[in-house]
Structure 1
Amino acid sequence: MMNFMPGCILCGSGAEFDVDRFLVSSPWSGTAEIFRRGPTGAAYRPIRKYSSLQIEVSPIDEDLLEPQVNATLAFLRSYEAEVRRLVTFPGVEAVEFRIGLFWLPDTAIYPISLTSSFLKAVGDVGASVDIYVYASDGIKTV
């Protein structure tokens, strides 16, 4: 199970997204983490409003921006057609590359700069970039 930790994941989601039908002919079949809309059995989120899939793009222990950007570009070179298929698949409402970073307590500022070529590559396939900055006590636990 993927954690909400640093590293980059690709997430595709939608209320009417038939994730199983998408994965039938996908190279991500067997590697994607799948979440289906409906009852979850979990007290903290009893009903999931969207079906989604997640693909690891860079390792979840990678907490630097540049390696995650490079991994995302390499992923796009390898899977551009499949990302485009996901973006246009019926029921898909959002396709996001989620980049995770740690915010360390002794850090006064954390500049995040994404190059225009990176943003263009992601935008050209119709996806977006979300950056998650996690509070940290300076000790990485993955």
Structure 2
Amino acid sequence: MDRADLVRLRKARDRIDREYADPLDVESLARTALMSAGHFSRSFRAAYGETPYGYLMTRRIERAKALLRRGDLSVTEVCVAVGCTSLGSFSTSFAKLVGVPRASTGRPSPPTSLMQRSTASRASPRRSPDRSGIEKRPPGDAP
């Protein structure tokens, strides 16, 4: 890879660093580097050791970690703030990059220390009315 290619790749990488929260696609980044999408993806991976998408997600997750540590935003708000549109894929990427172990269901466990604040505790009522308005009582619960 020649020096000119590296300079153009750096421009695209710098754009990812600046605009990580915006919608970015390979074609747009390739235009920034004055390359075809395929050549750009291969060259980016060769130069930086990861795909453009992988690099973008790493930047987003790094920023998300900082926002979650601050503690004033919910997980969903952080997800949107860093440019992710799916909470599920954000959680999966977060778990993959941060190294949070997966639950036995195969789905990622939320990083409790960072995400705990966003979950509200809900008290379960002992009695709940059905549609007729009559309260149901758990078995063995005396009136």
TM-score normalised by the chain length of structure 1? 0.24
- Structure with the higher helix share, 1 or 2: 2
Higher Cα Rg: structure 1 or 2?
2
- Structure with the higher strand share, 1 or 2: 1
